């Protein structure tokens, strides 16, 4: 009971940024007494701070001024990372999820042996922590956002474009290397939570996010919780089947995946750009220069995405869908054909239910999302509940 209310109060403070006790009691429907008790214990545990200034009511406010409460940034530190095929981005954040330091490594880890990848990640985490003027033992938790099908609950990576192997217990591997609790999560889930905390889903507890990167991912937020499959499985949109062609199934990835759009670029400047993770940006300049092959690839991809998107909306009927990922950088041809295919494919019965939002988040935001995954688990953990009774 207390644990639940504690979490609710903490989360209310987080959402508000800065809020008085009365206001908390208003929003959580708890009595001011209870709120006072809980906030006292949170203050005691150092999870929140009180600030006397900052009462934002009408200037001519009478009565005892409110004491604003906010998260204590120093209550915890976590590392979040976005691991992609050609780059890794690490962030260290404080308890609020604010970024303290960032590190981007432009590396092609694609299909390297696990050991190598783990080495690189370990290195990145350590360096990013040092950059934040911290030591590793001051970090409470690490979360790695990976593309592919991730089983968050068990820490297994079922399949991922960056691994040759399948079914790796990567959470355990990295936990042991770092000596810090490390969890894994789908990169799409990470960016979904990033939007929930800081981005375009701040006002919603139900939202669907589609990530169009090298891998096509999906994040479904339902009642403020990530919707995960059995075992905490993440989804892989790229595996969606769009049709049966003569040579087997046609999957979304084969039309709208990065390599499908950019094609095989054996060498040259384009290939170089792709290797550096600027494939889409380069493609955009080529499209602006009217490269017809690319334009038609972008249109095909947009149509496929629009169709898949309509199907997802048909199934989940969220009030908002957020589209993110490097493919958005393709610009007009891609976006227009996506929108058109979507509006053609969306069934009339749920027209108007869902709003489409596009967002070009930076890699840092993705990593921040991974940090949020880690923070959420910290929030929910019993912490040092002042009293003896731990959570059920």
Partner DNA sequence: TTAGTTAATTCGCATTCCGTTAAAAATACC
Partner DNA sequence: GGTATTTTTAACGGAATGCGAATTAACTAA
- Work out which of 67, 271, 329, 345 binds its own copies, going by CB under 8 A: 345
Using CB under 8 A, which of the segments 111-119, 256-264, 309-317, 361-369 binds its own copies?
Answer: 309-317
Q: Which is nearer to its own copies, 71 or 304 (CB)?
A: 304
64 interface partner picked from its own copies, DNA, none, CB below 5 to 8 A per type: DNA
The span from the first CA to the last CA of the chain, in angstroms, equals 8
- Work out which of 60, 230, 289, 293 binds DNA, going by CB under 7 A: 60
168 interface partner picked from DNA, its own copies, none, CB below 5 to 8 A per type: none
- Could you say whether residue 388 binds DNA (CB under 7 A)? yes
Instruction: Count the alpha carbons within 13 Å of 163 in the hemisphere toward its beta carbon.
Output: 20
Q: Which is nearer to its own copies, 251 or 282 (CB)?
A: 251
- Could you say whether residue 347 binds its own copies (CB under 8 A)? yes
Q: Are 197 and 372 in contact (CB under 8 A)?
A: yes
275 interface partner picked from its own copies, DNA, none, CB below 5 to 8 A per type: none
72 interface partner picked from its own copies, DNA, none, CB below 5 to 8 A per type: none
The binding track of 55-94 with respect to its own copies, each residue x by CB under 8 A or -, is ----------------------------------------
Q: Which is nearer to its own copies, 131 or 206 (CB)?
A: 206
Phi, psi of 80, rounded to the nearest 5 degrees: -120, 150
Q: How far is the CB of 312 from its own copies (least distance, A)?
A: 7
- Work out which of 57, 153, 269, 351 binds DNA, going by CB under 7 A: 57
Give the residue from 385, 257, 280, 273 showing the smallest Cα distance to 329. Answer: 280
3-state secondary structure the chain: CHHHHHHHHHHHHHHHCCEEHHHHHHHHCCCHHHHHHHHHHHHHCCCEEEECCCCCCCCCCCCCCCCEEEECHHHCCEEEEEECCCCEEEEEECCCCCEEEEEEECCCCCCECHHHHHHHHHHHHHHHHHHCCCCHHHCCEEEEEECCEEECCCCEEEECCCECCCCEEHHHHHHHHHCCCEEEEEHHHHHHHHHHHCCCCCCCCCEEEEEECCCEEEEEEECCEECCCHHHECEEHHHCEEEEECCEEEEHHHHHCHHHHHCCCCCHHHHHHHHCCCHHHHHHHHHHCCCHHHHHHHHHHHHHHHHHHHHHHHHHCCCEEEEECHHHHHCHHHHHHHHHHHHHHCCHHHCCCCEEEEECCCHHHHHHHHHHHHHHHHHHCCCCCCCCCCCC
- Could you say whether residue 389 binds its own copies (CB under 8 A)? no
- Work out which of 70, 98, 110, 206 binds its own copies, going by CB under 8 A: 206
Using CB under 8 A, which of the segments 63-71, 87-95, 118-126, 243-251 binds its own copies?
Answer: 243-251
- Work out which of 319, 377, 378, 391 binds its own copies, going by CB under 8 A: 319
The binding track of 3-32 with respect to its own copies, each residue x by CB under 8 A or -, is --------------------------x---
- Could you say whether residue 382 binds DNA (CB under 7 A)? no
Residues in contact with DNA, counted by CB under 7 A, come to a total of 31
β-strand pairing of 168-169 with 99-105? unpaired
Q: How far is the CB of 13 from DNA (least distance, A)?
A: 12
249 interface partner picked from DNA, its own copies, none, CB below 5 to 8 A per type: its own copies
13-52 residues near DNA, rule: CB under 7 A? 20-22, 29-34, 36-40, 52
Phi, psi of 133, rounded to the nearest 5 degrees: 60, 40
386 burial level (CB within 10 Å; 0-12, 13-18, 19+): middle
332 interface partner picked from its own copies, DNA, none, CB below 5 to 8 A per type: none
Site residues (vs DNA, CB under 7 A): 1-2, 5, 20-22, 29-34, 36-40, 52, 57, 60-67, 385, 387-389
Site residues (vs its own copies, CB under 8 A): 1, 29, 148-149, 158-159, 166, 206, 218, 222, 227, 229-231, 233, 235-237, 239-244, 248-249, 251, 303, 307, 310-312, 314-319, 341, 344-345, 347-350, 353, 392
């Amino acid at each position: 009971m207390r644990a639940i209310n504690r979490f609710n109060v903490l989360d209310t403070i987080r959402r508000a940024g800065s809020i008085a006790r009365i206001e908390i009691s208003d929003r959580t429907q708890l009595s001011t007494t209870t709120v006072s008790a809980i906030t006292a214990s949170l203050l005691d545990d150092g999870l929140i701070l009180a600030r006397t200034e900052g009462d934002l009511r009408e200037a001519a406010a009478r009565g005892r001024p409110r004491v604003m409460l906010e998260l204590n940034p120093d209550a915890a530190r976590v590392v979040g990372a976005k691991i992609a095929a050609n780059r890794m981005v690490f962030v260290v954040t404080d308890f609020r999820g604010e970024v303290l330091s960032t590190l981007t490594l432009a590396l092609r880890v694609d299909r390297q042996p696990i050991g190598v990848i783990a080495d690189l990640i370990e290195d990145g985490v350590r360096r990013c922590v040092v950059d934040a003027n911290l030591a590793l033992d001051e970090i409470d938790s690490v979360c790695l956002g990976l593309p592919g099908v991730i089983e968050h609950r068990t820490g297994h990576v079922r399949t991922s474009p960056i691994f040759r192997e399948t079914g790796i217990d990567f959470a355990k591997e990295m936990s042991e290397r770092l000596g810090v609790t490390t969890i894994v999560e789908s990169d799409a889930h990470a960016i979904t939570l990033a939007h929930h905390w800081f981005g375009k889903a701040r006002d919603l507890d139900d939202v669907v996010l589609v990530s169009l990167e090298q891998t096509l991912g999906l994040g479904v937020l339902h009642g403020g919780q990530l919707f995960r499959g059995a075992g905490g499985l993440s989804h892989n949109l790229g595996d969606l089947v769009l049709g049966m062609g003569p040579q087997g199934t046609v999957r979304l990835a084969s039309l709208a995946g990065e390599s499908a759009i950019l094609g095989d670029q054996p060498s040259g400047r384009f290939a170089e750009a792709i290797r550096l993770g600027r494939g889409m940006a380069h493609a955009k300049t080529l499209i602006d220069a009217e490269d017809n092959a690319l334009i038609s690839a972008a249109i095909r991809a947009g149509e496929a995405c629009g169709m898949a998107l309509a199907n997802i909306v048909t199934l989940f009927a969220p009030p908002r869908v957020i589209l993110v990922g490097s493919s958005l950088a393709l610009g007009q041809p891609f976006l227009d054909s996506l929108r058109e295919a979507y509006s053609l494919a969306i069934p009339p019965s749920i027209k108007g239910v869902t709003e489409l939002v596009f967002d070009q988040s930076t890699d840092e935001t993705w990593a921040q999302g991974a940090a949020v995954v880690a923070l959420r688990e910290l929030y929910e953990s019993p912490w040092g509940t002042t009293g003896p009774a731990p959570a059920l």
